[in-house]
Amino acid sequence: MIYNAPIQDMLFLIRDWIGIDRLNALPGYEEVDLDLIEAVLEEAGKFASTELLAINREGDEHGATFDDGNVTTPPGFKEAYKQFIEAGWTSIDANPDHGGQGLPKTLQGLIDEILGATNVAFKLYTELSRGAYHCLAHSASEEICDKYLPNLVEGVWSGTMCLTEPHCGTDLGLLKTKATPAGDGTYKLSGEKIFITSGDHDLTENILHLVIARVDGAPAGTRGISLFLVPKFLVNDDGSLGERNTVQTASIEHKMGIKASATCSLVFNDATGYMIGEENRGLAAMFKMMNLERITVGLQGLGLSDIALQNALDYAHERRQSKAPAPRPEEGAAADPIVYQPEMKRQLLTIRSQVEGARALSVFAGLNIDIMEKSPDAETAAVAESTVALLTPIIKAYFSDLGMSSTLSAQQIYGGHGYVREHGMEQLVRDCRIAPIYEGTNEVQALDLVSRKITGRMTEFANQFLDGWLTVLDEYADGSHGDIAGAARLGLNHLIEATQWVQSKAEAGDDAAMRGCATQYLRLFALAFIGCLWAQIVDSIADNEGEFYDVKRKVASFYMQQVLPETAFLLDVIVNGSDALGDFEVADFAV
């Protein structure tokens, strides 16, 4: 397997499109320049394409193992993790107060794509730590932050996110894990949590579990959920490790993919926990972590799409079968490289145009996260926060779906060689398959979008957001690439029409109709919005000459002609397809 971090494209997006000045305008990021970003990305790319890629396939074949209550990571993982934390990859966007490097989330997002491309299973051992860090940094007391965060940032400790129980995943209101006040300000937690990523392993000295549970007597449902920090080893006042907490690993899952990542069942048996944030407000605190993680899961899908593309492209250049349409690259050859077959080119471009579009959306979201966190102007920060809230479910679901379509398509390009394990393409499919499921299934993301992000109190914001892009596209209509802007405008119009339809159903209380089109609506949003970004990108480089920019324009045109037109179909099924769904009763399935 090969992997070249797409640094050129990443730098392009910041340099030629959003502009580094947008970042530099934020307090703390004044000094972040393109050279720094390039240097960091180069290092990330080097580490990922050598160390992480090298252990990816053995990690899959060997898997994480569970023996006598302990989890062991596959060969090479300990060494790679040691290098990982020594190089500072756990501290990029953490606060300098806790030992972090204080770099922008925009940059972290690009690094996440690179790491996700080369070894998702490895990345998962570090990813939840970052989520735990941000959750604690945001909601925990100063005392807890001082005690726990530096080690988390340094990477010698890691974190988890303990939500799911056997009977509750999507619907956390059903959770049963209970927390009983111990009388000294701490709590005793008892219950079973499943599907806990990195719930146990041998990479760090301690593991900080962030656990949601119900305090005795708390209200039923989501209003009675509190958040607790439950360390694997208790931490003494001097920061040294104390006795082992009563959290046991019952088993690890045998999964379709990400086999090197230990997915644990944890049993809490009167385990000592510290409440984080307010009682019964745990879900809100946990969502700080979850929202970040949702974007990061999306970036896994993006990264896997890109590595799948790179390898399929490589293979398509090497593999010779059949003759290409005229003009053939090499007259007289027995067969031509399959990359010259129009269908192969189409599949490769379908991935590429979406990957580059998704990467633009990733940068756009990263910038908005940075603005939301750093802007001194409250209004600006609020708009950025709403933007991120709106885009989070879209990034999680569309990027992870893209991961599936891309890895499957890339595998297909290999023909039979893609189905055998040695080429690694089938591992990409299996490793990616979890992304549409975990951190809230893509269906949950779609429900979040239709029921909370474009309706209710966010209705006005969502409409302004879309109208704003309409104005932007109108400005491009008479530009040098009016055709691209026009196509994007058509897609956006489909989105706006669908949005109005969903909003009208929500207002009418037709919950079934609103929910029934949620997944289709989310996809329509993603395709149309990325169409807008492509139009803006093309406009921003209208005066740029050279091969790189020419190819960008070609890729944008391909997106407009071959990918974006799906919005018309989606609008059609959303608006005209709801009757048939509604008419079909659950009881009809039995017939």
**Residues recognised as catalytic:** 439
Q: Given the complex with a copy of itself, which of 25 and 349 has the nearer CB atom?
A: 349
Q: Shortest Cβ distance from residue 462 to a copy of itself (Å)?
A: 20
- Of the pair 137, 498, the CB lying nearest a copy of itself is at 498
Alpha helices in 319-377 (DSSP H): 342-374
Range 311-370, binding a copy of itself (CB under 8 A): 313, 320-322, 325-326, 329, 334-335, 339-346, 348-349, 352
Beta strands 178-181; 206-215: pairing state: parallel
When the beta carbons of 239 and 584 are compared against a copy of itself, the nearer one is 584
- Closest distance to a copy of itself from the beta carbon of 280 (Å): 18
**Cα 236 versus chain centre, distance:** 35
- Contact of 288 with 139, CB cutoff 8 Å: yes
> Mask: binding to a copy of itself, 202-221, rule CB under 8 A, as x and -?
------------------x-
Q: Measured from the CB of residue 589, what is the shortest distance to a copy of itself in angstroms?
A: 6
Contacts with a copy of itself by CB under 8 A: the residue count is 97
Give residues 496-525 in contact with a copy of itself (rule: CB under 8 A): 511-513, 515-516, 518-519
| Amino acid at site 507 | E
CA dist 100 and 524 (Å) reads: 38
Tell me the two tokens of residue 102.
Answer: 């204080």
- Binders of a copy of itself among residues 377 to 406 (CB under 8 A) are 404
Contact with a copy of itself (CB under 8 A) among 141, 244, 270, 584: 584
**CB–CB of 311/339 below 8 Å?**
no
In the block, residue with structure tokens 């399959």: 338
Cβ neighbours of residue 432 closer than 8 Å, sequence gap 6 or more: 120, 257, 300, 301, 304, 400, 403, 404, 407
3-state per-residue secondary structure call for 460-490: HHHHHHHHHHHHHHHHHCCCCCHHHHHHHHH
Distant-in-sequence contacts of 542-546, Cβ < 8 A, 24+ apart: 542/479, 542/480, 542/481, 544/16
Q: Which two tokens stand for residue 190?
A: 């008892």
Closest approach, Cβ 440 to a copy of itself, in A, equals: 10
- Tell which positions 117-136 bind a copy of itself, by CB under 8 A: none
Return all residues near 495 (Cβ < 8 A) that are at least 6 apart: 466, 524, 525, 528, 529, 567, 571
Backbone angles phi and psi of 72, in degrees to 5: -120, 130
The interface with a copy of itself within residues 186-205 (CB under 8 A) comprises 194-195
The residue from 30, 171, 318, 507 that contacts a copy of itself (CB under 8 A) is 171
| Site for a copy of itself, residues 413 to 472, rule: CB under 8 A | 415-416, 418-422, 426, 429-430, 433-434, 436-438, 441-443, 446-447
**Binding letters toward a copy of itself, positions 543-582, x by CB under 8 A:** ----xx-xx--xx-xx-xxx--xx-xx--xx--xx-xxxx
Q: CB nearer to a copy of itself: give 382 or 420.
A: 420
Name the residue among 257, 323, 336, 307 with its Cα closest to residue 411. Answer: 307
Residue closer to a copy of itself by CB (options 74, 418) is 418
Q: What is the largest CA-CA distance in the chain?
A: 85
Question: If you ran DSSP here, which 8-state letter would residue 28 be given?
Answer: T
The minimum distance between CB 557 and a copy of itself, in angstroms, equals: 4
Element (H, E) at 179: strand 178-181
Closest by alpha carbon to 237, among 163, 372, 146? 146
Give the integer Cα–Cα distance in Å for 109 and 103: 11
Closer residue to a copy of itself in complex, CB, 72/412: 412
Quote the least distance from Cβ 51 to a copy of itself, whole Å: 25
Judged by beta carbon, residue 159 or residue 257, the one nearer a copy of itself is 257
Binding pattern to a copy of itself, positions 257-286, x when CB under 8 A? Answer: x-----x-----------------------
Estimate to the nearest angstrom the gap between the alpha carbon of 499 and the chain centroid: 24
Pick 378 or 580: Cβ nearer a copy of itself: 580
Which residue, 132 or 413, is less far from a copy of itself as judged by CB?
413
**Is residue 570 within 8 Å of 523, Cβ to Cβ?**
yes
Helices (H), 48-174: 53-54, 56-62, 77-86, 105-118, 120-139, 142-154
Nearer to a copy of itself, 305 or 442 (CB): 442
Residue 252: enclosing H or E segment and its boundaries?
strand 247-252
Smallest distance, Å, CB 382 to a copy of itself?
30
**CB half-sphere exposure, 307, CA atoms < 13 A:** 32
Question: Of 165-173, 210-218, 227-235, 282-290, which part binds a copy of itself (CB under 8 A)?
Answer: 165-173
Pairing of strands 247-252, 263-276: antiparallel
Q: Shortest gap between Cβ of 237 and a copy of itself (angstroms)?
A: 38
Q: Write out the binding residues for a copy of itself, residues 61-90 only, by CB under 8 A.
A: none
In whole angstroms, the minimum distance from the beta carbon of 559 to a copy of itself comes to: 8
| Closest to 423 (Cα-Cα) out of 412, 432, 439 | 412
* Binding pattern for the stretch 231-260 against a copy of itself, x by CB under 8 A and - elsewhere: ----------------------xxxxx---
Torsions phi, psi for 211 (to 5 deg): -120, 130
For the CB of residue 413, give the shortest distance to a copy of itself in the complex, in Å: 9
